[in-house]
Amino acid sequence: MSAGWPVRGWKGKITRMNLLVRFLLSLVLTLTALPSRSQMTIEIIGGASNKVPIAILPFRMQLEGGPNPGDVITTDLERSGYFRLLDSKGGVSPADTDALALSEWKSRGADAVVMGHVIPAREGRVEVRFWLYDAVRMAQLAALSYTTTPAGLRSVAHRISDLVHEKLLGEPGAYSGRIAYILKRGSRYELQVADADSQNPITVVASPEPIISPAWSPDGQKLAYVSFENRKPVVYVQNLADGQRKAVANFRGSNSAPAWSPDGRGLAVVLSKDDTSQIYLLDLQTGEARRFTRGGALDTEPLFSPDGRWLYFTSDRGGSPQIYRADIASGDVSRITFEGGYNVSPALSPDGKTLAFVHRRDGRFRIAVMDLASRQMQVLTDTTFDESPSFAANGRLLLYATLVNGRGVLATVSVDGRVRQRLSQSGDLREPAWAR
Amino acid sequence: MKQAIPALILLALLAGCAEQPPKDAVIEDRAIRSSPPAVTGYPVDARPATGRPMDTPAMAAARTDGTTAPAADAARPQAGAQLIETRPLAGADAQVKPLDGTPLDGERKDEASTADVQNVIALKLKDPNSPLSKRIIHFDFDSSVIRDEFRGLLEAHAEFLKSNPDSKVILQGHTDERGSREYNLALGQRRAESVYSALSLLGVGDAQMEAVSLGEEKPLVEGHDESAWQQNRRAEILYQGE
């Protein structure tokens, strides 16, 4: 029971007025988001049935400028769909943990409280201290200090979000990763890299011709992608630190669908130099491409399992596009998907146990997952043009591309299908890939 | 009555905004930089800072250093100076260099040596009455079979290529936008190969042709309906130097 509300006789009206106010507010926010060119809009749909009520106190900042980590953590946790954020705007984190009114937060409904400080450190660096409390048991769950540059504040905040998520829900969060995607604005294609919350986007390649299929190297230092700048698809690998790049597959015909081997030394690619589209294993040191699949069927979208044992791929060898996997050592191939006439774009969870893919049913392309042990399949989305699923490092969230009102947007869905978000921008967003 | 008014306003607003039903969604907007700087000092290293437990009172004593790269404002390529730009993510001494392959590099070299051929082609291909002006072969849904109506078109190009052995074509296959981009790339490749085989059977040499795919990336017609899709399922014949 929330104290202080004029409940009797007004409840109905308040609820309705609240709805109206909230709706108008969201309308205003939507409209203000329109004019600016590069506004990223984030929309959350659904959420967990039992959200953890949590209070994130604004961090005490002994520093001019820079984001308040408390705000970043609040946004992260709110977006996840697993937390209910209590209003904590009034109370900045106390200077001392003893001054934290834990029982008061408990009486206001909080199960957990986060407080923190940002303190100047030596050589222009900053120290971020944070504490996480269980308000129900009145116990400290975490107390950590991070030292970083002022520019690293946001990324420290994401790592705190990961930790809070893990401490309270028992599984790691996916707030601190990076994503790559293609942004098409007019006739310009940009390969961008951004934080997992789509902040800090940086264009790493810009071209007047299409770019598709970005793939992160296992160490997160390089991106492989397909560029059409020479009137045909060619596979490039680009070093992110210095922007240097190299055409690694530029054979006669088409070169596409790069997938990194787990050791980062090679790529599986699709080439048409000898036959119709077939999978080859490319050694990045020698440049040698060894043919892996054979036969007149079309084979594409290769993907290594994290343990390096399997190569998953899409093939129409059975008459319709389906996902298969080959034992890399023996070359033996078995079919994985059977339900429906179109299953493509395989993605694997980091533990290799769950397969995500695009499944067509009744003319609609949607994201589905399959537990590889039981072969149970579940469709997660209800949109029509879903593409390119990619797992977050925690294996609990999938990032994918879809069309909303004819425009490309990025979306995430939890592997249980309950929490969904959309990220949109002026221009078309497509081909997302989550860094491991 | 009083209670009905807000409800009516809400209804009217909802009706007016039927395009974007709010449902229960929370809509937030957050600014990202309108012109993101080329280099923002974002750490390339996956571990931008180090964390350590704060269980001892001597917290300030032993300081663990983070690994965040220093901010760098260097190295922003001149916009428009080149067709393709790459940018480093971070690194103070990073420099953006021109890329190895600017588009159509190879063809530029050939242009001079085959200038006369290009002229002949240019003349013939520009003539709207010439069958060579027709370059597009359309396909049925999920098919790479060349329909009879395109036989004349292919024969005209085969004759031209045979009588101009220095001329070369790139055969580009295309698909509609539905489904996976990479799978569509492979489907488009099949369409290009289908045209390649047809020209090959008509006597055109392998050295004069290359079959490639642009998948769904270069639609002839924008649009998300069957009429657009139908026009976009195609193969195109492009002469070198055009």
Assigned token pair, A319: 């008459």
Predicted confidence (pLDDT) per residue in A160-215, tens digit = 999 999 999 998 899 999 999 999 999 999 999 999 888 889 999 999 999 999 99
Interface of B with A in 65-94 (CB under 8 A): 65-66, 68, 70-71, 75, 83-91, 94
User: Which band of pLDDT confidence, cut at 50, 70 and 90, is reported for residue B121?
Assistant: low
Predicted confidence (pLDDT) per residue in B4-39, tens digit = 555 545 444 444 433 333 333 222 222 222 333 222
Could you tell me the end-to-end alpha-carbon distance of chain A, in angstroms, rounded to an integer? 44
When comparing pLDDT for B79 and A344, which is higher? A344
Are A275 and A252 within 8 A, CB to CB? no
Q: B119-130: string of b/e by CB count within 10 Å (b at 16+)?
A: eebeebbeeeee
- Determine the Cα–Cα distance for residues B9 and A214; give it in Å rounded to an integer: 47
Q: Do A29 and B27 touch (CB under 8 A)?
A: yes
pLDDT value, residue A423: 85
Q: How distant is the Cα of A234 from the closest Cα of chain B, in angstroms?
A: 10
Cα Rg of chain B, angstroms: 29
Q: How distant is the Cα of B167 from the closest Cα of chain A, in angstroms?
A: 17
Q: Do A403 and B224 touch (CB under 8 A)?
A: yes
- Determine the Cα–Cα distance for residues A22 and A16; give it in Å rounded to an integer: 10
Nearest to A210 by CA among B103, B140, B240: B103
Count residue pairs from A and B with Cβ separation < 8 A. 308
Predicted confidence (pLDDT) per residue in B45-73, tens digit = 333 344 555 543 333 333 333 333 333 33
Q: Is A414 on the interface with B (CB under 8 A)?
A: no
Helix (H) or strand (E) holding B115: helix B115-126
Cα Rg of chain A, angstroms: 24
B126 φ, ψ (degrees, to nearest 5): -80, -15
Assigned token pair, A154: 């946001």
Q: How distant is the Cα of A381 from the closest Cα of chain B, in angstroms?
A: 15
Residue with tokens 């000092």: B41
Written in H, E and C, the secondary structure of A61-97 is ECCCCCCCHHHHHHHHHHHHCCEEECCCCCCCCCCCH
Which chain B residues have a beta carbon less than 8 Å from that of A237? none
DSSP-assigned states of every residue in B19-44: TS--TT-EEEEE---SS--S-----S
CA-based angle B109:B113:B114, to the nearest 5?
A: 105
- Cα dist from A317 to A294, A295, B229, whole Å: 10, 9, 25
Of B9, B32, B179, the CB nearest to A199: B32
Predicted confidence (pLDDT) per residue in A417-428, tens digit = 888 888 888 889
Predicted confidence (pLDDT) per residue in B196-236, tens digit = 999 999 999 999 999 999 999 999 998 889 999 999 999 99
Which chain B residues have a beta carbon less than 8 Å from that of A314? 180, 182-183
Three-state DSSP at A133 gives: strand
- Determine the Cα–Cα distance for residues A221 and A238; give it in Å rounded to an integer: 9
- Which amino acid type is present at position A215? A
Q: Which pTM value belongs to this model?
A: 0.77
Q: Distance of alpha carbon A396 from its chain centroid, rounded? A: 10
Q: Do A148 and B49 touch (CB under 8 A)?
A: yes
Q: Do B86 and A388 touch (CB under 8 A)?
A: no
DSSP-assigned states of every residue in A229-283: TTSS-EEEEEETTT--EEEEE--SS-EEEEEE-TTSSEEEEEE-SSSSSEEEEEE
Nearest to A27 by CA among B32, B11, B14: B14
Q: What number is the ipTM of this complex?
A: 0.86
Q: How distant is the Cα of B170 from the closest Cα of chain A, in angstroms?
A: 9
Three-state DSSP at A110 gives: coil
